[in-house]
Amino acid sequence: MKRQDYINWDTYFMGIAMLSAMRSKDPNTGVGACIVSSDNKILSLGYNGMPAGISDDEYPWEREGSFLDTKYPYVCHAELNALLNYTGSRLHGAKIYVTLFPCNECTKALIQSGIQEVIYGDDKYADNDSTRASKRMMDTVGIQYRKYQPAKKIIQLDL
């Protein structure tokens, strides 16, 4: 393999976040997250799914209907799962690669954990109040956020 065939760190870590998203059983929006230290070591991974011990097959994945018959009161977002999966003691200065811009609830957890940068793949809810609140909080505390800009096309893996 020639040196120019290698991928940069952003492509590598976003690729891992995308691969993690493939673990989600959400039929509409699978989201993945990869937390990385300042020296480019993977610290934790997560994807959106039900909490441990709750069957992905027995709880709803619907987006509409009665609140308790939708996924919203049950699903843990990828960012929160990545934070909860971390077994170390400090995330201060780390960055998170996430396939979808974080909601306001996950943003609060990212702030509390010490995450310093968010690299996101999609911002399809940019006009949503939750996303606006997320950006406002990140701006207030100085968390940098930027859209992932692929240096190379990430190919779909047929595994």
Active site residues: 79
Look at residues 8, 80, 9 and name the one whose alpha carbon lies nearest to residue 44: 80
Return d(Cα 49, Cα 66) in angstroms, integer. Answer: 19
101 near 122, Cβ under 8 Å? yes
Return d(Cα 66, Cα 100) in angstroms, integer. Answer: 25
Positive or negative, the Cα torsion across 48, 51, 57, 60?
A: negative
Look at residues 36, 29, 35, 46 and name the one whose alpha carbon lies nearest to residue 123: 29
